């Protein structure tokens, strides 16, 4: 049986570590952004929390300090938010992997498939030397397509990719094997957003009681309350696909 390649921090050496809970709670969920049905994992609020941000970097640094890594490659754009701090702490250089036409020098590129169409990652020629040991960092993994492109890009210049690391891993990442056999280290699963009815059944009960009371009093407001209840029922189960920032 093939060994799983993904490793959630809470299941591998950091069970019960309160830092993971604090990191998760510092991430804001923005419902229906950038489009309907997306539960956006916004890490900008994590960056605003000094302790949670430091804990995030420290966990990665503790893991990679003694692995002989000389390159930390950050995937545009949110890999840039964590990669440089990790690189400085472990004594490695930081190499940005950018979208097309963002780097000024000579580049090599690698295409990857999106849900609709394709995109590319680019890296400066000469930024990474053959035989160097590399870590790839990004904020979130969903399908793994971007990280696979990063791995291929580094391997094309002769680097050894030791591991890929992400702050957030969607449930779809568990057991997935699109990372070219490279291990994947994830700190937390995505936070779930719940609507008002999910958070408090009592609020829903109170609305129903108000609706019945208005009917009894015949004050002519029942349609508005009923419309509100119907709308809440439609949004009653709101946790869907996540994306990150």
3-state secondary structure 60-102: HHHHHCCCCCCEEEEECCHHHHCHHHHHHHHCCEEEEEECCCC
Q: What integer pLDDT is reported at residue 214 of this predicted model? A: 60
Q: What is the pLDDT of residue 196?
A: 44
pTM over 0.85: no
User: Would you state the pLDDT for residue 64?
Assistant: 98
Fold of 6-193: Rossmann fold (3.40.50)
**Cα dist. 176→4, 86, 146 in Å?**
8, 26, 14
Does 72 sit behind a cis peptide bond, omega within 30 degrees of 0 on the bond before it?
no
Residues 6+ away with beta carbon under 8 Å from 13: none
Give the separation between CA 228 and CA 224, rounded to whole angstroms: 6
> pLDDT tens digits for the chain (245 residues)?
344 566 889 888 898 999 999 999 999 999 999 888 888 999 999 999 999 999 999 999 999 999 999 999 999 999 999 999 999 999 999 999 999 999 999 999 999 987 678 999 999 999 999 999 999 999 999 888 999 999 999 999 999 999 999 999 976 665 554 588 899 999 999 987 655 444 445 555 555 555 555 665 655 544 454 444 444 444 444 434 456 65
Residue 171 near residue 189, CB atoms below 8 Å: yes
Burial of 163 (0-12, 13-18, 19+ CB in 10 A): buried
Residue 139 near residue 79, CB atoms below 8 Å: yes
Active-site residue list? 78, 115
> CA 229, CA 211: separation in Å to the nearest integer?
9
Domain ranges of the chain: 6-193, 196-234
59, 137 contact by CB (below 8 A):
no
- What is the helix, strand, coil percentage profile of the chain, to 5? 40, 25, 35
- Report the pLDDT value the prediction gives residue 117, as an integer from 0 to 100: 81
Q: How far apart are CA 80 and CA 107, in angstroms?
A: 18
Q: What pLDDT was estimated at residue 56?
A: 98
Helices in 134-200 by DSSP H: which ranges?
145-156, 196-199
Strand partners, 3: none
Q: pLDDT value at position 107? A: 98
């Amino acid at each position: 049986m093939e060994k799983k390649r993904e490793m959630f921090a809470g299941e591998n050496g950091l069970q019960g570590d309160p830092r993971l809970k604090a990191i998760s709670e510092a991430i804001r969920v923005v419902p229906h952004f950038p489009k309907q049905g997306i539960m956006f994992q916004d890490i900008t609020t994590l960056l605003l929390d000094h302790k949670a941000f430091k804990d995030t970097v420290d966990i990665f640094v503790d893991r990679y300090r003694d692995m002989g890594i000389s390159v930390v490659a950050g995937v545009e754009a949110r890999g840039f938010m964590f990669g440089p701090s990790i690189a400085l702490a472990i004594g490695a250089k930081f190499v940005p992997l950018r979208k097309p036409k963002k780097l000024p020098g000579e580049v090599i590129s690698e295409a990857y498939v999106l849900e609709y169409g394709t995109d590319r990652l680019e890296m400066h020629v000469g930024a990474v030397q053959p035989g160097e040991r590399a870590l790839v960092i990004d904020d979130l993994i969903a399908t793994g397509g971007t990280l696979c492109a990063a791995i291929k890009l580094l391997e094309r210049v002769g680097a050894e990719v030791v591991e890929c690391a992400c702050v957030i891993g969607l449930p779809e990442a568990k057991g997935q094997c699109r990372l070219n056999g490279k291990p994947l280290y994830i700190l937390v699963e995505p936070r779930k957003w719940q609507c008002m009815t999910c958070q408090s059944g009592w609020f829903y009960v109170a609305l129903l009681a108000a609706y019945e009371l208005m009917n009894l009093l015949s004050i002519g407001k029942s349609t508005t309350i009923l419309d509100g209840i119907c709308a809440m029922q439609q949004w009653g189960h709101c946790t869907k696909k996540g994306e990150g920032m």
